[in-house]
A and B are shown apart, each in its own frame.
Chain A
Amino acid sequence: MHFDLSIPAQLTGALTPDLILMGGAMVLLLIAVWGKETEAHARLVGLLSIGLCVIVGATVVWMATYRHGATATPGIIAVDNFRWATDLIVLLATIIAIVMAIDYSRTEQLIIPEAYVLVLLASSGMMLLAGARDLVMVFLGIELMSIAVYVLAGLDRRNARAAEAALKYFLLGAFSTAFLVYGIALVYGGAGSTNIGVIGSRVSGATFESNPMLLVGIALLVVGFGFKVAAVPFHMWTPDVYEGAPTPVTAYMAVAVKAAAFAAFLRVWEEAFAGAAPAWHGALWWLAVLTMVVGNVVALAQKNVKRMLAYSSIAHAGYILVAVVVNNALGTSAFIFYLVSYTLATMGAFAVVMAVGEPGERRQELRDFAGLWRVRPWLAAAMAVFMLALLGFPIAGGMGFFAKWYVIQAALGASSPQTHLAVVLVLASVVSAGYYLAVVMVMFMRPRAEDAPAPRRVGLGTGLVIGLATVALLVFGIFPTGFVRLASHGTPVIPPRVRPAVTTAARPAPPPGVGGATIR
Chain B
Amino acid sequence: MHDFLSSIHYNGWVLPALLAIPLVGALVLLAMASSARDDGTLEGAPAARWVALITFLVELVVSIGLWWSFDPGTAGWQARVTHWWIPAWGAQFDVGIDGISLFMVLLTTFLMPLAVLGSWTSVRQKVRSYYALMLILTTGMLGVFMALDLLLFYVMWEVMLVPMYFIIGIWGGERRIYASVKFFVYTMLGSLLMLVGILYLWLHSVDPFAGPGQQLSFSYDHIMQHAMVGSHAALWLFGAFFLAFAVKVPMFPFHTWLPDAHVEAPTAGSVVLAGIMLKMGTYGFLRFAMPLFPTAALTPWVRTTILALSVIGIIYGALVAMVQPDFKKLVAYSSVSHLGFVMLGIFALTLQSVQGALMVMINHGISTGALFLLIGMIYERRHTRMLDAYGGIARVVPMFAVLLTLVSLSSIGLPGTNGFIGEFLVLIGSFKTQPWFAFFAATGVIFAAAYLLWAIQRILFNRLDKPENEHISDLNRRELAIMAVLAAMIVWIGIYPAPILERMEPSARNFVTTVRDGAAPRAPRLGMEVR
Nearest Cβ on chain B to A442's Cβ, whole angstroms: 9
Q: Quick one: which of B90, B154, B158, B192 contacts A426, CB cutoff 8 A? A: B192
Q: Are A430 and B192 in contact (CB under 8 A)?
A: yes
Contacting residues, chain B, for A495 (C-beta < 8 A) = none
Cβ contact within 8 Å between A517 and B89: yes
Per a CB cutoff under 8 Å, which of B89, B159, B185, B213 touches A430?
A: B185
Q: Within 8 Å of chain B (Cβ to Cβ): is A254?
A: no
Given A430-B185, A434-B185, A517-B88, CB of A408 within 8 Å of CB of B196: yes
Q: Which of A135-143, A200-208, A391-399 is near enough to bind chain B? A: A391-399
Residue pair A481, B181 in contact (C-beta under 8 Å): no
Chain A residues in 8 Å Cβ range of B154? 394
The reply to whether B188 and A430 contact each other, CB–CB distance below 8 Å, is: yes
A516 within 8 A of B: yes
In the complex, the chain B residue whose C-beta lies closest to that of A477 is: B155
What is the CB-to-nearest-CB distance from B271 to chain A, in angstroms, rounded to a whole number?
Answer: 21
Q: Is the CB of B196 within 8 A of A422?
A: yes
- Report A-chain residues with C-beta under 8 Å of the C-beta of B89: 409, 484, 517
For the complex, what is the distance from the CA of A426 to the CA of B244, rounded to whole Å? 13
From B155, B180, B216, give the contact of A395 (CB < 8 A): B155
By the criterion CB–CB under 8 Å, are B180 and A441 in contact?
Answer: yes
**In the complex the two chains form, is A517's CB within 8 Å of B216's CB?**
yes
Flag whether B215 is at the interface (Cβ < 8 A).
yes
Restricting to B160-208, which residues have a CB under 8 Å from any CB of A?
Answer: 161-162, 165-166, 169-170, 176-177, 180-181, 184-185, 188-189, 192-193, 195-196, 199-200, 203, 206
Q: Which of these, A408, A433, A519, contacts B216 with CB under 8 Å?
A: A519
B214 within 8 A of A: yes
Please determine whether A394 and B159 come into contact, CB atoms closer than 8 angstroms: yes
CA distance A288 to B165 in the complex (A): 31
- How many of B's residues come within 8 Å of A, CB to CB? 37
With known contacts A433-B188, A445-B169, A395–B196 Cβ distance under 8 A = no
List of B residues within 8 angstroms of A444 by Cβ = 166, 169-170
A427 to B243, CA, bound (A): 13
Q: How far is the CB of A108 from chain B (nearest CB, A)?
A: 32
**A171, chain B: closest CB distance, angstroms:** 39
With contacts A430-B188, A445-B177 known, is A395 near B159, CB below 8 A? yes
CB contacts (< 8 Å) of B155 on chain A: these are 394-395, 401
Answer whether residue A480 sits at the interface, using C-beta atoms and an 8 A cutoff.
Answer: yes
Nearest Cβ on chain B to A159's Cβ, whole angstroms = 34
A89-131 contact mask (Cβ, 8 Å, vs B): 1 or 0: 0000000000000000000000000000000000000000000
Q: Tell yes or no: B86 within 8 A of A by CB.
A: yes
Q: Are A433 and B196 in contact (CB under 8 A)?
A: no
Q: Bound state CA distance, A433 and B85, in angstroms?
A: 27
Beta-carbon contact of B206 and A437 below 8 Å: no
B212 within 8 A of A: yes
- Set of chain B residues within 8 Å of A362, measured between Cβ atoms: none
On whether the beta carbons of A480 and B177 are closer than 8 Å, the reply is no
Q: How far is the CB of A463 from chain B (nearest CB, A)?
A: 17
Secondary structure call for the B interface: helix
> Which A residue sits closest to B88, measured CB to CB?
A484
In the docked arrangement, what's the CA distance between A362 and B214, Å?
56
Indicate if the CB atoms of A408 and B199 lie closer than 8 Å: yes
Is B87 located at the chain interface by the 8 A CB criterion?
yes
Nearest CB to that of B161 among chain A residues?
A393
Question: Which of B180, B185, B200, B215 is in CB contact (< 8 Å) with A445?
Answer: B180
Please give the distance in Å from A506's CB to the nearest CB on chain B: 25
**Chain B residue contacts of A433, Cβ below 8 A:** 184-185, 188
Residues of A within 8 A of B181 (CB): 437, 441
A-chain residues with CB within 8 Å of residue B161 when the two chains form the complex: 393
A519 touches B87 (CB 8 A): no
Check B158–A519 contact: CB distance below 8 A: no
Shortest CB–CB separation between residue A256 and chain B, in angstroms? 27
A286 close to chain B: CB less than 8 A: no
B86 touches A480 (CB 8 A): yes
Q: Is A412 an interface residue (CB 8 A)?
A: yes
* Residue in A419, A481, A520 whose beta carbon sits within 8 Å of that of B88 in the complex: A481
- Cα of A90 to Cα of B494 in the assembled complex, Å: 65
Cα separation A519 to B86 with both chains bound (whole Å): 17
Interface residue? A416 (CB, 8 A):
no
Query: How far, in angstroms, from A395 to B203 measured CA to CA in the complex?
Result: 23
Q: Which 8 A-B pairs have the closest CB atoms?
A: A394-B155, A426-B192, A445-B169, A484-B88, A396-B162, A517-B216, A395-B159, A394-B158
- Excluding A481-B85, A517-B215, A519-B206, 17 further A-B contacts by CB distance (< 8 Å) are A394-B159, A405-B199, A412-B196, A426-B192, A427-B192, A429-B192, A430-B192, A433-B184, A437-B181, A437-B185, A444-B166, A445-B170, A445-B177, A481-B86, A518-B213, A518-B214, A519-B213
A-B contact pairs, 21 of them (CB 8 A): A388-B162, A393-B161, A394-B154, A394-B155, A396-B159, A405-B195, A412-B196, A412-B199, A413-B203, A423-B193, A427-B189, A427-B192, A429-B192, A430-B188, A433-B185, A437-B165, A441-B180, A517-B216, A518-B214, A519-B212, A519-B216
